[in-house]
Structure 1
Amino acid sequence: MKKIFIPITLVAVALLSSNCSNDFIEVAPTENIAEADLLTIYNNNEGAKSFVTAIYSNALSFSASSFSWNGLTSMTSDDADKGSDPGDSGTDKDKCDALTLDATSLSVQEVFETNYQGISKANIALNYLPRLDKADAAVVARLTGEAKFLRALMYFNLVRCYGGVPIVDHVPVPSSAEDTDMTLIRKSKDEVYKFIETDLLAAIAALPEKSGYAISDLGRATKGAAHALLAKVYLYQGNWQGVKDQSTAVTGYNLVTDYASIWREVGEDSVESIFEIRGYGGNPSQGIEGYMVSQGARGTSGWGWGFNTPSASLANSYEAGDVRRDATIIFAGETMWDGRVVSPLVANPRYNEKAYVSNTKETFNGDWETTKNIRVLRYAEVLLMQAEAANESGTGDVTGPLNRVRNRAGLANTTATGQVALRVAIRAERRHELAFEHDRWFDIVRTGQAKSVMAADGKTFVEGKHELFPIPQKFITQANGKATQNPGY
């Protein structure tokens, strides 16, 4: 009888059997279960949901959303420093900070690997969902849309980090040479973006709006989330009309009044929130590994490791009166919103407030796996994408959406006029609105600012190299000549 690797809880699902030649893009097997039994046990609505819950759960891992992801997307940029103690490298976070990562760096490997683990779970779900004939067809269709949205999100992470990567679009057959090549041969960046677009268009057609979900299902991918992500995908390709079309299709959302409340527990699933990584997975008590602890203040009266600290460059870049500065940065010696007094003797002068969870006003109790949700897509970013697309295309309302974001931050309407000045203003708003939301590094790269921005931060950005991170050496070795390294590594 045919066997597949899958745990009973479906919290982690294997992509390949253990004899596959490429074990890098693979989830370790945990248990054998006969496929016929699987299609019996899980052939119902709850069983169908379990396949997709496994994909969501992937984002809870330490490397997926916390340490390595912060290293590549934040500590590399001018918004953040490594933090912690000078003698604590965080394995390679000093290299993230200095732009000296290489193909053997752990952060490079973990981000690559964990996204493919999630993609493997999506492919498992997409393989089995159509075969669950005792589950409601409408539920299966929606779950298929969720799986495609999540797969697209993970490929978006990969293509921004590494450029062209293998497109693994189905569960590979271990004995198939063609499928082995599928897992090893890199596609072009354009091909990856096209694959993402196809998945998101399918998700848009299948998913309900946020208002169409029961309260118990909040946090699942929605039609609005798929439109917003596709707008962002088009933003990275300079497809301004696509950005306009997709961002205006994001309806039913608004800005919350209090910017600081967005990252508190009361701000979860707000009218501004389009998609969040939720602080629980297949196990309701499971949280996001190390997100709070790895970024908490370190040293005297501290509560964490102290990594990924706001830079002086970021702290000094805000306009006077911008409420986002204090909502984003914890300063040594300050009294926080929940009454906690931060010792002036902590190891670093600044910490990331968006990662903070209160132990008196919220639910933090020192657990490694915290319940804090991570905001991935917000309506404020949709407005900023609208402004950027209008400015770059020369048509549409630039200042309207831009000023909505500024006004919420306590600032007056922009005084910028003309395309060049407005471009500078929009980029500044993205920096301040989205600080520590995993966008700054990618923004300075996609807009061609990276060399000058990093030079001002005292770091050398090598054009033709640093636009991408290296492909992990482990994968290059396993590819055995079928995959090439990124330039400069």
Structure 2
Amino acid sequence: MKTHINIQSCLAVTALGVMLLTASCKKDFLNVPPQAQQPETAFWKTAEDADKAVNAVYAKLRSWDNVAFNAIVIESTGADEADKGSTPTDATFFNLFDTFTVTSTQGSLQGFWNGQYQNIKLCNQAIDSIPKIAMDENLKSRYIAEAKFVRAYSYFRLVRAYGRVPLRLHEPKDPTEYNIPQAEKTEVYAQIEKDLTEAASVLPPSYDADNKGRATKGAALGLHAKVAMYQQKWNDVLSFTNQVMGLGYDLFPNFEKGFRTENENNIESVFEIQAELLIGNSAASNSQYSQVQGVAGVRGGGWGFNTPSQALADAFEPGDPRRDATIIFRGETTPQGDVIPTTVPNERYNQKSYVPFSLYVSGYNEGAQQNIRVLRFADILLMNAEAANELGDPAQAKSSLNRVRQRARGGNPNILPDVTTNDKTELRNAIWHERQVELAMENDRYFDVIRQGRAAQVFGPKGWKANKNEVWPIPATEIDLSGGKLTQNPGYN
């Protein structure tokens, strides 16, 4: 049975209202009707309220703005690994991101911004209000730590995408507190690190089956490592990844099967956004992550956007099994037995987001049950390798790097030989290449290349320009609403 965080009941805790989706691991929750809206004055009273509030934080993470079009164009489309997909005339705004001609009025910029700040709003409500509830103190501390983890994750997505952003850590008490200026990137990163440090000190290493998928100590440490990597704090990256490596994670033996629904939350999973297809509750079965990227033109497939590029297909070394485990090719038969017709619109589709067509249920989003892998142990190992190399320890770097390659080759000694060089530049390039093929189509490549300082070289042929495209434009609506308190990123209008 798939385990998942409680995700099925509704209630509003603000004047605007928010969806709280909760359920147990048992199947008798499926037909429980949504509860009526509950006013804020009647909320934040009990431990059950705290539980519902934190579950709402997790539920929001799988929303459209967080995992579908608005996230994909911000975090993936500009990379060399992805093409727009679908048909030439469908959702042509993708091309604005692919060619770096997007302007501040484009709607997905606002959508992604809204998605992150909605996450942050729910987190702030929980962090501010749960301390006032009379309940078990350990559980109270854990709920607050979970909210701090998600707040840090959302601010990390914001600072990578937009650079300077408003840093809101509490809900406004009066109208004068709504309009706040942008914080410098260093301030945003400092707050992210503070939240993750505090979260890691409280969160448990693991949970029981009913709570599997919640943020753990490993998730907080692992995300902190990535945040530190973006700031080139290599000692911190090494320290945090070493700690995660001591928490019992491992590489799932079969790379391709590790992305299938039956193997979600496996030993390699450090953090996943939880999703589920709940018969009788289409509102809770709302993830469109798999749907928008699924094979177009077949029942149970999807819309065919964000397709792997030829450049990605060519990046894999000869015989690397991850190529076929990452890319569904037109005309192939998947390991699960789905025949991909030669008539589908696109040559390639994202296999990591793929859900076998037989699991499709009419009336629900294709692939609604597919979790979104946010952080895997393979990423931890590659961050560890990069930090060790930058700090002058090639032996440790090669050990972590080759551990990833060894899993990929699956016991075949004729492919993917161990990296043996001690040259710092050669080893750095080998680690960067391994990140490209191991983490392909996981919304990592675009910002990874930028933080490596190679974007002009790698993305320049697509139109990427230095001193501008390191970030996307601040949504024009936000600047207008601020009365000019927010300022546009350089190079945009």
Tell me, yes or no, whether TM beats 0.5: yes
Does the CA contact (< 8 Å) of 2:82 and 2:308 recur in 1? yes
Does the CA contact (< 8 Å) of 2:219 and 2:270 recur in 1? yes
Deviation at 1:136, TM superposition (A): 1.2
> Structure 1 residues 461 and 128 mapped into 2: Cα distance closer, same or farther (>3 Å)?
same
For 2:65, the equivalent position in structure 1 comes to 63
Does the CA contact (< 8 Å) of 1:272 and 1:378 recur in 2? yes
For 2:413, the equivalent position in structure 1 comes to none
Provide TM-score, normalisation by structure 2. 0.88
For 2:23, the equivalent position in structure 1 comes to none
Does the CA contact (< 8 Å) of 2:277 and 2:369 recur in 1? no
Letter in 2 for 1:278: Q
For 2:437, the equivalent position in structure 1 comes to 432
Letter in 2 for 1:399: K
For 1:81, the equivalent position in structure 2 comes to 83
Question: Unaligned 5+ residue runs, structure 2?
Answer: 1-7, 18-35, 410-415
For 1:141, the equivalent position in structure 2 comes to 141
> Structure 1 residues 12 and 439 mapped into 2: Cα distance closer, same or farther (>3 Å)?
farther
More displaced 10-residue stretch of structure 1: 116-125 or 409-418: 409-418
Deviation at 1:432, TM superposition (A): 0.5
Cα distance between partner residues in 1 of 2:230 and 2:163: 12
Deviation at 1:434, TM superposition (A): 0.5
Q: For 1:241-280, what aligned pairs fall within 5 Å after superposition?
A: 241-250=235-244, 251-280=247-276
The secondary structure found in structure 2 opposite 1:376 is: strand
Letter in 2 for 1:89: A
Q: For 1:180-195, what aligned pairs fall within 5 Å after superposition?
A: 180-181=178-179, 184-195=180-191
Letter in 1 for 2:235: Q
Q: How large is the Cα RMSD of the aligned pairs?
A: 2.1
> Structure 1 residues 281 and 106 mapped into 2: Cα distance closer, same or farther (>3 Å)?
farther
The secondary structure found in structure 1 opposite 2:443 is: coil
> Structure 1 residues 185 and 112 mapped into 2: Cα distance closer, same or farther (>3 Å)?
same
For 1:20, the equivalent position in structure 2 comes to none
Cα distance between partner residues in 1 of 2:298 and 2:365: 20
Cα distance between partner residues in 1 of 2:299 and 2:39: 49
The secondary structure found in structure 1 opposite 2:271 is: strand
Cα distance between partner residues in 2 of 1:382 and 1:436: 17
Does the CA contact (< 8 Å) of 1:78 and 1:314 recur in 2? yes
Deviation at 1:39, TM superposition (A): 3.8
For 1:330, the equivalent position in structure 2 comes to 328
Q: For 1:31-430, what aligned pairs fall within 5 Å after superposition?
A: 33=39, 35=41, 37-40=42-45, 43-44=46-47, 46-89=48-91, 92-133=93-134, 135-175=135-175, 177=176, 179-181=177-179, 184-210=180-206, 213-250=207-244, 251-280=247-276, 286-299=284-297, 303-360=301-358, 362=359, 367-368=364-365, 370-395=368-393, 397-410=396-409, 411-430=416-435
Aligned residue among 464, 468, 477 for 1:465: 468
> Structure 1 residues 279 and 11 mapped into 2: Cα distance closer, same or farther (>3 Å)?
farther
Letter in 2 for 1:73: E
Cα distance between partner residues in 2 of 1:300 and 1:264: 19
Does the CA contact (< 8 Å) of 1:13 and 1:54 recur in 2? no
The secondary structure found in structure 1 opposite 2:373 is: strand
Does the CA contact (< 8 Å) of 1:15 and 1:124 recur in 2? no
Letter in 2 for 1:476: I
Does the CA contact (< 8 Å) of 2:99 and 2:464 recur in 1? no
Letter in 2 for 1:420: T
The secondary structure found in structure 2 opposite 1:247 is: helix
Cα distance between partner residues in 2 of 1:288 and 1:190: 35
Cα distance between partner residues in 2 of 1:112 and 1:307: 21
> Structure 1 residues 187 and 342 mapped into 2: Cα distance closer, same or farther (>3 Å)?
same
> Structure 1 residues 415 and 289 mapped into 2: Cα distance closer, same or farther (>3 Å)?
same
Letter in 2 for 1:247: T
Does the CA contact (< 8 Å) of 1:287 and 1:372 recur in 2? no
The secondary structure found in structure 1 opposite 2:442 is: coil
Cα distance between partner residues in 2 of 1:154 and 1:377: 14
Letter in 1 for 2:399: G
For 1:23, the equivalent position in structure 2 comes to none
Cα distance between partner residues in 1 of 2:57 and 2:334: 35
Deviation at 1:395, TM superposition (A): 3.1
Provide Cα deviations, 1:444-482, integer angstroms capped at 9, x if missing partner.
110111111113xx3121100000000000001011121
Question: Unaligned 5+ residue runs, structure 1?
Answer: 1-7, 18-29
Cα distance between partner residues in 2 of 1:10 and 1:297: 32
Q: Percent of aligned pairs with the same residue?
A: 42
Letter in 1 for 2:213: G
Q: Is 1:444 the equivalent of 2:463? A: no
Cα distance between partner residues in 2 of 1:390 and 1:12: 47
Deviation at 1:180, TM superposition (A): 2.6
Letter in 2 for 1:376: V
The secondary structure found in structure 1 opposite 2:43 is: helix
Does the CA contact (< 8 Å) of 1:104 and 1:472 recur in 2? yes
Deviation at 1:128, TM superposition (A): 1.4
Cα distance between partner residues in 2 of 1:86 and 1:207: 46
For 1:24, the equivalent position in structure 2 comes to none
Deviation at 1:14, TM superposition (A): 4.0
Q: Give 4+ residue runs of structure 1 displaced > 3 Å after superposition.
A: 8-17, 280-285, 299-302, 362-366
Deviation at 1:304, TM superposition (A): 1.8
Cα distance between partner residues in 1 of 2:398 and 2:317: 18
Provide Cα deviations, 1:133-167, integer angstroms capped at 9, x if missing partner.
1x211111110110000100000000000012111
Provide Cα deviations, 1:103-141, integer angstroms capped at 9, x if missing partner.
1112211111110001000011112101111x2111111
> Structure 1 residues 140 and 284 mapped into 2: Cα distance closer, same or farther (>3 Å)?
farther
Tell me how many residue pairs correspond in the alignment.
Answer: 455
Provide Cα deviations, 1:391-429, integer angstroms capped at 9, x if missing partner.
112136110000000111112201443011111101100
For 1:5, the equivalent position in structure 2 comes to none
